[in-house]
Amino acid sequence: MIDKDAAFLQRLLATFRIEADEHLRKIYSGLDELEKAEAAEQRTDIVEAVFREAHSLKGAARSVNLAEIEALCQAMEGVFAAMKRHEIEGSATLSDLLQQAADHLGRLLGAAGGEPDGEGKALLADLVSRLEEALPGENRAAEPKAPRAPLPPASPPRDPSSGPLSCVAPLPDTAPLHAVLTETVRVPTAKLTTLLLQSEEMLFAKLSAAQRVAQMREARASFHAWEKEWARVLPLMQQITSSSARATAGPGENSGAGTDPETLRLVEFLGWNREFIKTLETRFVSGIKTARHDSRTLDGMVNNLLADMKKVLMFPFASLLEILPKIVRELSRDNGKEADLLIRGEEIEIDRRILEELKDPLLHLIRNCIDHGIESPEQRRANNKPQRGTITVEVSALDNRVVLVIADDGAGIALERVRAALLKLGSLPRERVEELSDQELVPYVFQSGLSTSQIITGLSGRGLGLAIVREKVERLGGTISIETFPDAGTRFRIVLPLTVATFHGVLVRLGEHAFIIPAMHVERTVRLEREDVKTVENRETIHVKGVPVSLVRLAEVLELPAPVNRAAATDMIQTVVLSVAGTRIAFLVDEVLNEQEVLLKNLGRQLSRVRNVAGVTIIGNGTVVPILNAPDLLKSAVKRSAHSALPGIAADTRQELSRRPSLMVVEDSITTRTLLQNILGAAGYDVVTAVDGLDACSKLKGADFDIVVSDVEMPRMNGFDLTAHIRADKRLAELPVVLVTALESREDRERGIDVGANAYIAKSNFDQSHLLEVLKRLV
Amino acid sequence: MEANAAAGNHRSSDPEAAPEVRPPSAGCPSPLLEAEQQEILTARARILARPPEQAEAAAERIEVVEFSLAYERYGIELSYIGEVYPLKDLTRIPCTPRFVVGVMNVRGKILSIIDLRQFFELPDKGLSDLNKVIIVRDAAIEFGILADAILGVRMLALSHLQPSLPTLTDIRCDYLKGITEDRLVVLDGGRILGDRGIVVHEEV
């Protein structure tokens, strides 16, 4: 435990050194500029900047318990603050003093973590007291007590071996100044992001390597089948060879026993062939072994690469939180409130992409604290609270996650107003709202459209804010919860993953489409009998652990064409129960495939926000699969059911059972294939697709079809050959075939008729109704 | 430089003044007749006089990638094109407008693909392969455009572009840079990329 803490402290110190180094450099350059700057206005800006740097460095030092650095920064900060207020003016002596202080900071940083020596301590005390003396209340602009050597123009020392800079009492080499400097490299984040994208692509390489191994194993199974067949003919072969041996032994008797030289040669060849294939098998098996080994190595390498890449993109929270003090100051002023801001744990690191996405939600919550939370000073006094409110922003690490707490000590959320607003919103029946306990009521503040503010101010009141906050946080794979206490305040607790990384998703299938539903919203998956679907007030419901839950078709919510799937027409149905902020709805899917780790990717700038879809991910076989947005799904489902009663799932699918004509589309172009599939699916056909003639042949073997619609030019087996193949097959001879093709010459048309196509449609003048009419005639 | 200056002079002067221009070689004995020499010089001067005009024309030339889409030929300025990619493994995204065909994975980046025919609200005409994706981009946005085939890259003089045809009344007009004599429809890449209507941003 102690070791762990020590290690943690070491890590913190390392981060601190890098951060402190940046602050120090900025302080140096600020001091430098200050000496040169003439215009008062310019000076004010510089002083402000240096002040902030000293302040941040102080905060950072405090967080790693470096009291000396903290004390020195504090003293420097005091001087800068006085300069800011124009209580003291910069002078040569003052700037010398500040330079020395900065130099000493550099030395302290170099030694950070180690024990300070006596001399260093003395120097520190001296510097601090002199800085304090420079302040107005004290002996203002007093002549320095100790004589000092003139300083060279300050510039951040770059060479760590340059030793101590000139200062009051030259110190022995306590530690090389800026030893950390050489260990950091500045790289534009854009470059790193590209790199990360590419490393993420390696994930696909890893997954496909594993899949290749699985395929090879499957292929190996055919060797077993081959072996079995051989075992059956082997005796026969032996019989032939032995009888021929006998024949050669005794040439006189029975020479015509089927052992003529040709047969013998064939048998010999078969023997050789068997050995040959066996050798192939052995090579194949060792191939599998190597492939498996490679796949495992790749797996480890990619995992390490990804983990390291992610670490590269980690940033301290400070970069996000540093904007807060100013915002809190300004917002409280504008709202006639008084508030202090406490920030803790800003040194904790998190993926830069999360920080970026977190900015808006964070600002929103801070606004909320000031607008809704903190009361006016008068009211606070009346309630026996300190006149100034406090807003706390606290970051802490929790296992592999980060907890961000935004709390205020204000009035808390007026739950009665939430209840009233909920009633007004009308998304829940009145009785339900009235039944809700205070505890149950709280999560509803995240509901879209709900606002307890009576007036819409510039800050809030539109009732969208918290819903958007939740959406953003959940998109990042995080969760947000809220606690509120009357008159004691409100706490928002956001738990975030350290990296955008991966979260768990449930892979579901709808017809030929696959979708991922974030697992955190999946309450459970339920498989039940079609009879278990009960209709309540014209809405279908199922019972989940004794509680009725409404049931909707996922395909319908996603506005997909009516599912055309024969497998769905069984007596069992598969549902996924989603739950968001207290609302639960069961979604009907065709199949729940598995649960897996997924990495959310954005849809790109053109698809800035798509209803019901949060993004996509790339799954094991390399396909891109949409990730659904659970809160959106629930909203859409509620909206849909408000508009129209859902068609009965039970009855509806029964009808599907009463048969739709089945049709196969054979087409190599993916767009055309999908277009045809959509047109024909919508026209009431049960559509199966094939990518070329060969694919079609194998699919035709597996099932019965009423008609085939095929392209002509395709790889492996073209449409003409496919048609010929169909005509040649006794079982399929009567199957109508429609060729849809870009080959429009008379010869091609004639060839189509020759091979036995029933219709020949040119792509250039393709017309949907024409095709449907032709199909109708043929089926 | 000198040539240009001479050409400039020449242009500014009267055509009758042309004989005054004499090359240094004029003094040398020449097998050519005076009139012939004069003719050559005039021709030369004319050629020399051309460069400024040519430079002007070059500035108004654009390089376009010509592609076919549903039996029509379109062109789009090369400067807006990132690359051309074969269309494979397209994933449809539900709840998107009709003109969004889906998304695909281009080296780890997800790119949305648009069907211009739908975006232009052209009537569905014919079936074609649509096997190519032209990736167009500017600083703010990037997406792919479906195409049947890439026909090549060619230079077009802007002056040869006809603004539009009276028969082209559909939505395409708004995104048109012009139409060439051989009826290549040149699209205004900047206008398509900058169109807010192409960005999908929808809440439930």
Dihedral over Cα of B195, B196, B197, B201: its sign: positive
Q: What is the mean pLDDT of residues A286-292?
A: 93
DSSP A657-682: HSPPPEEEEE-S-HHHHHHHHHHHHH
A766: closest chain B residue by CA:
B126
Establish if A562 touches chain B: CB-CB under 8 angstroms: no
Q: Which two tokens stand for residue A518?
A: 């974030």
Contact B110 A636 (CB under 8 A): no
In this predicted structure, the answer to whether residue A395 has a pLDDT above a threshold of 50 is yes
Percent of chain B with pLDDT over 70: 73
- Per CB-CB distance under 8 Å, the chain A contacts of B101 are 671
Residue B108 is nearest to which of A198, A607, A613, comparing CB atoms?
A: A198
Residues on chain B touching A201 (C-beta within 8 angstroms): 107-108
The sign one gets for the Cα dihedral A426, A432, A433, A439 is negative
Under 8 Å between Cβ of A495 and A487: no
Q: Which of A346-350, A656-660, B8-12 has the highest mean pLDDT?
A: A346-350
Q: Give yes or no for residue A290 having a pLDDT over 90.
A: yes
Asked whether A667 and A673 are in contact (CB, 8 A), the reply is: yes
- Closest Cα of chain B to A453: distance in Å? 23
Cβ distance B100 to A201 less than 8 Å, yes or no, reads: no
Q: Which of A776, A700, A706 is nearest to A736 (CA)?
A: A706
Mean pLDDT of A767-778: 81
B110 part of contact set with chain A, CB < 8 Å: yes
Give me the phi and psi of A703, to 5 degrees please.
-150, 170
The residues pairing with B83 across neighbouring beta strands, listed in sequence order, are B135
> CB of B135 within 8 Å of any CB in chain A?
no
Segment A541-550 shows an average pLDDT of 85
The phi and psi torsions of B76 (rounded to 5 degrees) equal -140, 140
Neighbouring residues of A321: CB distance < 8 A, sequence distance ≥ 6:
A343, A346, A393, A395
Confidence of residue B125 (pLDDT cuts 50, 70, 90): low
Find tokens 């005390």 and name the residue: A125
Q: Do A626 and B94 touch (CB under 8 A)?
A: yes
Q: What is the pLDDT, as a whole number, of residue A506?
A: 92
Q: What pLDDT sits at residue B100?
A: 92
The SS3 assignment for A509 reads: strand
Angle between helices B51-59 and B2-12 (to 10 degrees): 100
Chain A residues 415-434 within an 8 A CB cutoff of chain B: none
pLDDT in tens, A305-326: 888 887 787 888 888 888 888 8
Q: From the CA of A595, how many Å to the nearest CA of chain B?
A: 20
Which 3-state string (H, E, C) describes A205-273?
HHHHHHHHHHHHHHHHHHHHHHHHHHHHHHHHHHHHHHHHHHHHHCCCCCCCCCCCHHHHHHHHHHHHH
Say how many Å lie between the first and final Cα of chain A, rounded: 76
Average pLDDT over every residue of A3-14: 71
Q: What does the pLDDT read at residue A186?
A: 76
- Using pLDDT thresholds of 50, 70 and 90, give the confidence band for residue B42: confident
- Identify the pLDDT of residue A423: 76
Cα(A613)–Cα(B57) distance, integer angstroms:
49
Distance CA B33, CA A749 (A): 69
Task: Look at residue A158 in the predicted model and tell me its pLDDT.
Answer: 42
Does the pLDDT at position B179 exceed 50?
yes
Q: Is the dihedral of CA A254, A258, A262, A264 positive or negative?
A: negative
Alpha carbon dihedral A640, A645, A650, A654, in 10-degree steps, equals: -100
CB contact under 8 Å between A671 and B129, yes or no, is yes
- Give the minimum alpha-carbon distance from B66 to chain A in angstroms, rounded to a whole number: 20
Angle between helices A2-36 and A92-110 (to 10 degrees): 160
- Total-model pTM: 0.53
- Whether chain A has a CB inside 8 Å of the CB on B69: the answer is no
Q: Which of A612, A669, A766 sits opposite B126 (nearest CB)?
A: A766
C-beta separation of A101 from A40 below 8 A: no
More confident of the two residues A9 and B137: B137
Tell me whether residues A606 and B202 touch, CB distance under 8 A. no
Query: B186 with B73: CB under 8 angstroms?
Result: no
Instruction: Flag if B124 and A768 touch (Cβ within 8 Å).
Output: yes
Contact list, A605 vs chain B (CB under 8 Å): 140-143, 199
**What is the model's pLDDT at position A151?**
40
A744 touches chain B (CB under 8 A): no
Cα distance between residue B45 and residue B11, in whole Å:
9
Residues A379 and A386: their CA atoms lie apart, in Å, by 10
Worst-scoring range by mean pLDDT, A114-123, A573-582, A688-697?
A: A114-123
How does strand B100-106 pair with strand B109-114? antiparallel
Question: Among candidates A82, A61, A51, which has minimal Cα distance to A124?
Answer: A61
Is the Cβ of B194 closer than 8 Å to some Cβ of chain A?
no
Cβ distance of B96 and A197 shorter than 8 Å: no
Q: Residue A198 and residue A51: Cα distance in Å, rounded?
A: 41
CA distance B180 to chain A (A): 23
Work out how many CB contacts closer than 8 A connect A with B.
132
Question: Which residue of B68, B105, B127 to mutate against A (max A Cβ within 10 Å)?
Answer: B127
**Over residues A21-33, mean pLDDT:** 82
Mean predicted lDDT score pLDDT of chain A:
78
B142 contact A CB<8A: yes
What is the C-alpha separation between A374 and B162, in angstroms, rounded?
66
So what's the pLDDT on residue A161? 41
Q: Are the CB atoms for A666 and A719 separated by under 8 Å?
A: yes
Q: Is A595 within 8 Å of B104 (Cβ atoms)?
A: no
Cα atoms in the 13 Å half-sphere on the side-chain side of A433: 17
**Best mean pLDDT range from A136-140, A615-619, B23-27, B132-136:** B132-136
pLDDT score at B25: 47
Range of weakest confidence among A367-371, A538-542, A764-768? A764-768
Instruction: Please answer yes or no on whether A764 and B126 come within 8 Å at the CB atom.
Output: yes
Share of chain A above pLDDT 70, in %: 83
The answer to whether B203 contacts chain A (CB < 8 Å) is: yes
State the complex-level ipTM.
0.70
Confidence of residue A427 (pLDDT cuts 50, 70, 90): low
CA distance A379 to A385: 9
* Record: contact A197-B108, CB cut-off 8 A: yes
**What integer pLDDT is reported at residue A90 of this predicted model?**
72
- Residue A4: its pLDDT value, please? 63
Best of A607, A629, A636, A711 to mutate (most B CBs within 10 Å, chain B): A607
Q: How distant is the Cα of A204 from the closest Cα of chain B, in angstroms?
A: 9
d(CA A591, CA A238) in angstroms, rounded, equals 51
> Cβ contacts (< 8 Å) between A604 and chain B: which residues?
103, 109-112, 142-143
Q: Is the pLDDT of residue A207 over 90?
A: no
CB contact under 8 A, B146 and A671: yes
State residue A761 phi and psi, 5-degree precision.
Answer: -115, 130
Q: Provide, as residue numbers in chain B, all residues whose Cβ is less than 8 Å from the Cβ of A623.
A: 89, 91
User: Rounded to whole angstroms, how far apart are CA atoms A448 and A604?
Assistant: 25
Tell me whether residues B110 and A603 touch, CB distance under 8 A: yes
Which H/E stretch holds residue A316?
A: strand A314-316
Indicate whether A8 pLDDT > 90: no
Measuring CA to CA, which residue among A72, A79, A87 is closest to residue A51? A79
- Residue A731 CB neighbour total at 10 angstroms: 10
pLDDT in tens, A482-538: 888 888 888 999 998 877 656 788 999 988 889 999 888 898 888 888 888 887 777
Residue A150 pLDDT exceeds 50: no
Residue A165 has pLDDT above 50, yes or no: no
Taking only the tens place, the pLDDT of each residue in A44-74 is 788 888 888 888 888 778 777 788 888 888 8
DSSP class per residue in A179-207:
TTGGG-----HHHHHHHHHHHHHHHHHHH
Contacts of B131 in chain A (CB under 8 A): 669, 671
What does each C-alpha distance from A133 to A51, A58, A74, A88, A233 come to in angstroms?
18, 20, 13, 11, 106
Question: CB B90 to CB A635 under 8 A?
Answer: no
**pLDDT tens for each residue of A627-655:** 998 888 988 888 877 665 444 544 444 44
Average pLDDT over residues A172-195: 62
Average pLDDT, integer, range A684-692: 86
The verdict on a CB contact (< 8 Å) between A198 and B100 is: no
Going by C-alpha positions, the residue among A20, A29, A98, A88 that lies closest to residue A55 is A20
Residues 113-132 of B with CB under 8 A from A: 114, 124-131
pLDDT at B170 over 70: no
Question: What DSSP string describes B127-172?
Answer: -----EEEEEE-SS-EEEEEESEEEEEEEEEGGG-BS--TT--SGG
Q: Write out chain B residues lying below 8 Å of A602, CB-based.
A: 110
Instruction: Kindly report which listed range (A189-198, A661-670, A685-694, B185-194) carries the lowest average pLDDT score.
Output: A189-198
Cβ–Cβ gap B89/A624 under 8 Å: yes
- Give the Cα separation of B39 and B45 in Å (integer): 10
Q: Are strands B200-201 and A607-609 parallel, antiparallel or unpaired?
A: parallel
Q: What is the pLDDT of residue B30?
A: 52
Are A611 and B198 within 8 A, CB to CB? no
Q: Do A604 and B129 touch (CB under 8 A)?
A: no
Which of the two residues, A346 and A115, has the higher pLDDT score? A346
Mean pLDDT of A17-21: 79
Least CB–CB distance from B112: residue in A606, A672, A674: A606
> How far is the C-alpha of A575 from the C-alpha of A552, rounded, in Å?
9
A609 to chain B, any CB pair closer than 8 A? The answer is yes
